[in-house]
Structure 1
Amino acid sequence: MAAFRVRLQEFDETLNAEVIDMKRFRKLCFNGCPYEQSYRSTCWKLLLNYLPRERSTWKQVEEKQRKTYAQFIDEMIIKPGVKASQDGVICDVTFEDHPLNPNPDSKWAAYFRDNEMLVQIDKDCRRLCPDLNFFQKATEFPSIDLVCGNNKVDTLRKRVEQCVLRSETVATNRLGISNMRTSRLRSNSEGYATLAEGQEAHWEVCERILFIYAKLNPGLGYVQGMNEILGPLYYVFASDPSRELREHAETDSFFCFTNLMSEIRDNFIKTLDETQLGIGSLMNKMMIMLEDKDATLCHKLQEQELKPQFFAFRWLTLLFSQEFPLPDVLRIWDSLFSDEKRFSFLICVACAMLILLRDDLIQGDFPSNMKLVQNFPHSIIDVQTVIKKAVELAR
């Protein structure tokens, strides 16, 4: 207990400095960020470059980002058919911009294009961390403008609360006649309880974050698995002991997620899988390290044709968020975010997991080994054991 208090004091001294000593700070965070006194939330903001080293600028930066995010919501979540006049009054503009408008830049065209992507985001966010009830609970701080009837923008839930969501595009035939092409997409809303009017579940907040991110990054858009990257980030901020930090969890999560994705986005681009930038390169590095540290195990996997694509693809792309319970994921991410080489430690953790399974993998056949690596026995092998082994491999 005394050692823990000393550790908290070290964090306190480091974070209260006028300019953060990042070398010392990373070393502290690498060994785990405490939940107490909002340390983990603050540490992740610094490690993900959301907050600068200069403590005196933090409040100014956060206020600016919160205004920016509010503007994103206003601009990206489109409610076609209405717009605000100069005096702020909402007026109907259906005559100017209607669902059959052939202009590809119309709000209705954008609305219909977004629906297909929104169905997938909705489906993935509803099943975030199914072992926890947290994401199904109502947030303390819903977006008031969205859930309480601001007619200019609309909650995304209302667009997918029906079992069938229509995605429509405008097409013109050879005679120059415009018509609508409609596809009917099933949403995954069945079986989920809807909260009372004026409330939002945590998963709905994540849905909005991912939707806005996809709109701001049309070249990448939304790719399945991004929800698993956002989930732990949002959980840390939305469950923080500080009420003020919980209130702004959505904004903080969005910008931290955006910064994190800027570093790992290549893993989500399929066309880069077999290049030096993609996930294939990471898996090759993992196998090279494994051969260097344990050639016998590496050759066993190769002999059985147990390819890293069968298990390491998910490990590395999702930063182990599917392999461990959420508290263990947060502990691993403390070390990953603290890595000065930016995720080289990710390879070490993956190799450590394989080496810790060495005896079973050497003796097992292909089916049993496949099952083992796809379902890492985290209840038997503690996360601290994995990290300790990864540190040994990194030396």
Structure 2
Amino acid sequence: MVSRREKMLSNVLIFALFGHRLTVHVLVAQLLLCYLPNDRALWEQDLAKKRSQYEAFKDEFLSNTVGGNSTIRGPEGHSGGNAEHVQNGSLDRSEIAQDEHPLSLGKTKEWNQFVENSEMIEQVDRDVKRTHPDMHFFCGDSSFAKSNQESLKNILIIFAKLNAGIRYVQGMNEILAPLFFVFRNDPDYKNANFAEADSFFCFVELLSGLRDNFCQKLDNSAVGIQGTLSKLMQLLRKYDGELQHHLEIKTEVNPQFYAFRWITLLLTQEFNFADTIHIWDTLLSNPDGPQETLLRICCAMLILVRKRLLAGDFTSNLKLLQSYPPTNIGHLLYIANKLQ
């Protein structure tokens, strides 16, 4: 039976061959991440609905962030009876009840929530400003770059507030960046203008299959990041037992030292931006899903430099894997595809 993902991929190939108003990259992301329905006739209606929903999220979750001018909302998004007004990132002292004062022994849930949100927003702001500092699209003094930074911040803050079990984890900005870059550069300006909304929903879908890697409570479980790293070593042992033994046993270069970043950031820090997008085409289009494909690519990365690793010690191997050398991406993906 043909899976929905395979049907989506066939649609992408058809539109690529005969031409369509969206770029192939945009189609790959939006179709394979299930943002667009399989039925092309429903696209316009579905897009309008989701873009409207995103605007509602912005109204609900961004109107009360640090720097805003409205009230702090409770868990359901409604203003409480003792609402605290936020002005320029600080609370008006006269409007803070005694038991909500930061020096009070009886800190309330509302105050703790405000502090937690403030810290999260500050972290998002710092990380967004550090996103691809070499690209004018993300950094610089231009109004375009600042607008793009603001969109990234909006998406990450809304995601954090809608996903209390995960919230924001450092590095999510790097995962969001390729999606937003592709959507914002859509040749159709009508779609490009909705890049923020479209990126948000695709970002959510992408992380839905990888969320266990970001959940701290699951770190040491079979489905958490440690379990994922173990799967990587099992895969390497299957195809190159000598290399796996040399890394883990002989030189004690554990995957936590290098592959933690590879996996949690979806290889966005190991390759240049164009190569990252090329790799992501493979991650999104593989019927096995991004996680299994990602592990095969990581395993292929180790195999590609096996001679240098086998000749190296702890220090040289760690340096090599934490700063992966320039690679022919086509060759890398070819090797990864053979690790079935």
Same fold (TM over 0.5): yes
Structure with higher RCO (Cα < 8 A, 6+ apart): 1
When residues 263 and 130 of structure 1 are mapped into structure 2, their CA distance, relative to the original with a 3 A threshold, is same
Q: For residues 384 and 46 of structure 1, do their structure 2 counterparts lie closer, same or farther at Cα, with a shift above 3 Å needed?
A: same
SS at match of 2:138: helix
Offset of 1:199 from its aligned partner? 8.8
Superposed, 1:103-122 pairs within 5 Å as: 104=108, 111-122=114-125
Preserved contact between residue 76 and residue 215 of structure 1 (Cα < 8 Å): yes
Distance 1:324 1:278 in 2: 25
Gap change, CA 1:254 and 1:369, over 3 Å in 2: same
When residues 306 and 201 of structure 1 are mapped into structure 2, their CA distance, relative to the original with a 3 A threshold, is same
Specify the structure having the higher radius of gyration (Cα): 1
Residue aligning to 1:134: 137
380, 383, 386: which is aligned to 2:329? 383
Shift of residue 110, structure 1, vs aligned partner = 5.1
Work out whether residues 266 and 279 of structure 1, in 8 Å CA contact, stay in contact via their aligned partners in 2. Answer: yes
**Distance in 2 of aligned mates of 1:127 and 1:36:** 32
The 8 Å contact of residues 314 and 320 in structure 1, kept in 2 or not, is answered as yes
Distance, in Å, in 1 between the alignment partners of 2:273 and 2:226 is: 26
Which residue in 2 is equivalent to 1:124?
127
User: CA–CA distance in 2 between the matches of 1:271 and 1:215?
Assistant: 18
**Superposed counterparts of 1:197-346, under 5 Å:** 200-302=146-248, 303-342=250-289, 343-346=291-294
- Does 2:53 match 1:68? yes
CA distance in 2, matches of 1:269, 1:282: 13
Contact 2:165/2:215 (CA < 8 Å) preserved in 1?
Answer: no
Instruction: Please report the RMSD computed on the Cα atoms of aligned residues, expressed in angstroms.
Output: 2.9
Higher strand share: 1
SS in 1 for 2:133: coil
Task: Give the direction of change, closer, same or farther, for the CA distance of 1:229–1:128 in structure 2 (3 Å limit).
Answer: same
The reply on whether 1:370 has 2:318 as its aligned counterpart is: yes
Distance 1:94 1:235 in 2: 41
- Give the structure with the higher percent helix: 2
CA distance in 2, matches of 1:387, 1:36: 28
CA distance in 1, matches of 2:109, 2:314: 53
- Measure how far apart 1:109 and its partner are: 7.1
TM-superposed deviation, 1:236: 0.8
Whether 1:39 aligns to 2:35 is no
**Cα distance in 1 for residues equivalent to 2:179 and 2:146:** 18
CA-CA distance at 1:299 after TM superposition:
1.0
| Residue in 1 that maps onto 2:105 | none
- Report how far residue 271 of structure 1 moved: 2.0
5+ residue gaps, structure 1 = 1-19, 84-92, 138-192
Q: Aligned partners of 1:285 and 1:96: how far apart in 2?
A: 48
Report the CA distance shift for 1:110/1:40 in structure 2 as closer, same or farther (over 3 A). same
CA positional deviation for 1:295: 1.1
Q: Which residue of 2 aligns with 1:168?
A: none
2:96 maps to a residue whose letter is L
- The number of residues matched between the two structures is 304
Give CA-to-partner distance per residue, 1:13-33, whole Å, 9 cap, x none: xxxxxxx98526537979xx8
Task: Show structure 2 runs of 5+ residues with no match.
Answer: 72-79, 86-94, 101-107
Partner of 1:26: 9
Instruction: Summarize the Cα distance change of 1:50–1:283 in structure 2 as closer, same or farther, 3 Å threshold.
Output: same
Following superposition, the deviation at residue 200 of structure 1 comes to 3.9
Deviation at 1:265, TM superposition (A): 1.1
Of stretches 74-83 and 41-50 in structure 1, the one that deviates more from structure 2 is: 74-83
Residues 351, 82 of structure 1: alpha-carbon distance in 2 compared, 3 angstrom cutoff: closer
> Relative to 1, partners in 2 of residues 1:246 and 1:389: Cα closer, same or farther, differing over 3 Å?
same
Distance in 2 between residues matched to 1:323 and 1:126, nearest whole Å: 19
Distance 1:328 1:199, change over 3 A: closer
In the alignment, the residues of structure 1 paired with residue 145 and residue 339 of structure 2 have an alpha-carbon distance, to the nearest angstrom, of 48
